[in-house]
Amino acid sequence: MGEVDSGLSLACALTVFITSSLSLVILNVVQTLTLGKFFSLVVWVKSLVCALPLALSIFILVPLLRGRSHPCRTRLAILSLFTAHPLQLLTFCVAGMLMHYLLPILNPILEFDIQQTSIKLYLIFSGLFSGIYFYFELVKEDRSMLKFSAHRTTRLQKFKIALGPTLKESAEAALYAFKAFIPIWILFSFLLGTSLWPMIGIRVHLKIGLMFFLTQSLFRICLCLTGLIATNPRIFKIDSSIEGEDSLISLLSSKNEIDKLSAYQDLAILTRYRDPRRCQLFQLSIPGGKPKIWRAVWTQCYKTLENFNSNMENINVPKAKVMKTPVKNRTIANETIFSTPTVGTPRAQFTSPTRSFLWSKTSGQTSPGRSATMTMTKPQSHFLNEKKKDAALSERLALWADSLKDNLNQKIIDTAKGMANAFFEIRPISYWLEERPDFKTVSILTDLNAVRLAMIAVSNTLACAPTEDKAGVTLECLPKALKIFTKMGRNMDMLVRNNNQRVELRKLRNECRTALGKIQTAYGDKLEELNLGKRL
């Protein structure tokens, strides 16, 4: 696995340090409506102290950026990821603590009384939790994986495109982090003996939520900036006669993953646009007249596509058929085909002879009888009814008390049973060590960047070959390219149906169909002349 070089790490850290400190100063100037704060030494020192651990965390995190994902085979490996980078976790925690403690000072709109011990502890612990939450989300969702684009766009355009989704994710993460921190802080307040009253109120919750949003958005914007700097398109020479000099051909087979993906990105971009270097792919080398450049490019691209297709074929292999017990056919020995129909039994009557439904025809004739006797009330019956009412009320209260007691006892019993079940349902070690069921499907997309860029480069090169390939150096590879694209499309159709990674697979399948369509459109009827239809 290749790492980003130290020079790029330093550039990313300086970018984060400058942008974050400048943004904090501008926020203070906007809230105080005094332009003199922009030249205040105290404001700048606090902003720099607040941004320093954030830039340091990015400087430590940038060398961990990678171009391919590394899925965990077992659940125990997933748990080990959270403790794999303790230095990064500590740095994010310090950055969150300083930001939550210094943001109320730099932002007077928050109006926190930092002199109170409970508020001071609340701000420190909330910043600590915000840094931990960002680190856990970063590790869990594999956000350190870079995404290389095949389009020629500037960093500013990429940042504008990525800013909207980044702020949306920051708002969602801040909401979840704030909700999760409330019960934790209640528990800590009881343990530390601090008061909860200063933290109760809608305005206070809105301010704390705003602080969570600021910290999460700063973390994610800095990570987005570092990703844009790391994936910025680089321009390489197609081939170099100097030994040790970086060229496109040498970097395609490099062991450094970042350099390899940068070469694939440059290859995809130069084949997509009318780059002057594209004509060098179809040139013949002087000794022997062989297409050295195209063969080197085709070998690496075909190797990447073939590995991806073979992994899909291994997953799509049907399982062995399960033998089912044969079911005996129904025998009709005792049944006759031509039998006389039997008389049906009458349907059950839902009404009695004296009562019928209101919509029946005989409802008016059989109405219920009425008694002509009148009930006589005696003077003593009134007092007897009052006594009966009091006795009935007392009985009802006693029954209600008994039911309430039974409900409380049942709730206590249910809670105890739930705790016991939760204790006994703790997963054994075999559960954490066994292979995850979705590991195979996730492992397909580990080399997603290289597969997508190789697909784009091959399809664009073969699409422009009818007009630019005068020597016909690509005709030998055309049948293999059409065959591998067809196989990949079929295998991805099978995987897209029932898969938790179907979004990425669907994008890749559409890219594969586009690549196949480009080649078929470029050659047209010439494919039949080359007898390539029977080979597919």
Q: If DSSP states are collapsed to H, E and C, what string results for 254-274?
A: CCCHHHHHHHHHHHHHHHHCC
- Token duo for residue 274: 């009318």
- pLDDT score at 455: 93
* pLDDT tens profile 485-526: 999 988 888 887 756 566 788 888 899 999 999 988 888 877
Which whole number is the average pLDDT over 103-123? Answer: 73
Taking residue 118's Cβ as centre, other Cβ atoms within 10 Å add up to 17
For the whole model, what pTM was predicted?
0.71
Taking residue 224's Cβ as centre, other Cβ atoms within 10 Å add up to 18
Residue 330 in this model has a pLDDT that exceeds 60: no
Instruction: Determine the Cα–Cα distance for residues 421 and 502; give it in Å rounded to an integer.
Output: 36
- pLDDT score at 288: 61
Residue bearing the bigger pLDDT, 32 or 1:
32
- Counts of helices then strands in the chain (DSSP H, E): 17, 0
Q: What angle do CA 105, 58, 257 make, to 5 degrees?
A: 165
Residue 375 in this model has a pLDDT that exceeds 90: no
Residues 169/143, Cβ–Cβ less than 8 Å: no
List all residues 6 or more positions away from 208 whose beta carbon is below 8 Å from its beta carbon.
Answer: 122, 126, 178, 199
User: Which range is most confident: 52-56, 201-205, 385-389, 457-461?
Assistant: 457-461
Sign of CA dihedral 396, 399, 404, 410: negative
Residue 112 in this model has a pLDDT that exceeds 80: no
Residue 478 in this model has a pLDDT that exceeds 50: yes
Rg (CA), the chain: 37
- Provide the percentage of residues in the chain whose pLDDT is more than 70: 77
Confidence grade of residue 453 (pLDDT, cut at 50, 70, 90): very high
Residue 348 in this model has a pLDDT that exceeds 50: no
Mean pLDDT of the residues in the chain: 77
- pLDDT score at 471: 82
- pLDDT score at 301: 92
Residue bearing the bigger pLDDT, 121 or 191:
121
Q: Tell me the one-letter amino acid at 52.
A: L
Q: Tell me the one-letter amino acid at 301.
A: C
Residue 228 in this model has a pLDDT that exceeds 80: yes
Residue bearing the bigger pLDDT, 102 or 498:
102
- pLDDT score at 321: 47
List all residues 6 or more positions away from 149 whose beta carbon is below 8 Å from its beta carbon.
Answer: 158, 231, 233, 265
| Ramachandran class of 146: left when φ > 0, alpha when ψ lies in -120 to 50, beta otherwise | beta
- The values of phi and psi at residue 228, to 5°, are -65, -35
- pLDDT score at 197: 65
- Provide the percentage of residues in the chain whose pLDDT is more than 90: 5
Instruction: Determine the Cα–Cα distance for residues 212 and 206; give it in Å rounded to an integer.
Output: 10
- pLDDT score at 350: 45
Confidence grade of residue 338 (pLDDT, cut at 50, 70, 90): very low
Which whole number is the average pLDDT over 51-74? Answer: 78
- pLDDT score at 306: 93
* pLDDT tens profile 233-291: 888 888 877 776 788 888 888 888 888 888 999 899 988 877 788 888 888 776 666 77
Collapsing DSSP to helix, strand or coil, 66 comes out as: strand
Q: From 134, 111, 106, select the one nearest 213 (Cα to Cα).
A: 134
Instruction: Determine the Cα–Cα distance for residues 106 and 46; give it in Å rounded to an integer.
Output: 8
Residues 163/228, Cβ–Cβ less than 8 Å: no
- Match 């550039």 to its residue by tokens: 11
- pLDDT score at 485: 92
Residue 227 in this model has a pLDDT that exceeds 60: yes
Collapsing DSSP to helix, strand or coil, 484 comes out as: helix
Confidence grade of residue 162 (pLDDT, cut at 50, 70, 90): confident
Q: From 302, 202, 222, select the one nearest 56 (Cα to Cα).
A: 222
Collapsing DSSP to helix, strand or coil, 247 comes out as: strand
Domain residue extents for the chain: 6-230, 250-316+440-529
Please list the residues that pair with 145 across neighbouring strands.
66
Please list the residues that pair with 492 across neighbouring strands.
none
Residue 303 in this model has a pLDDT that exceeds 90: yes
Instruction: Determine the Cα–Cα distance for residues 129 and 477; give it in Å rounded to an integer.
Output: 56
Which whole number is the average pLDDT over 117-146? Answer: 82
Instruction: Determine the Cα–Cα distance for residues 166 and 213; give it in Å rounded to an integer.
Output: 11
- pLDDT score at 397: 82
- pLDDT score at 334: 46
- Match 């291994």 to its residue by tokens: 314
List all residues 6 or more positions away from 414 whose beta carbon is below 8 Å from its beta carbon.
Answer: none
- Match 């011990």 to its residue by tokens: 117
Sign of CA dihedral 496, 502, 503, 504: negative
- pLDDT score at 387: 62
Which whole number is the average pLDDT over 67-90? Answer: 82
Instruction: Determine the Cα–Cα distance for residues 269 and 63; give it in Å rounded to an integer.
Output: 25
CB < 8 Å & 24+ apart, contacts of 75-79: 75/431, 75/432, 75/433, 75/434, 75/436, 76/432, 76/433, 79/432
3-class SS shares of the chain: helix, strand, coil, % to 5: 65, 0, 30
Taking residue 99's Cβ as centre, other Cβ atoms within 10 Å add up to 25
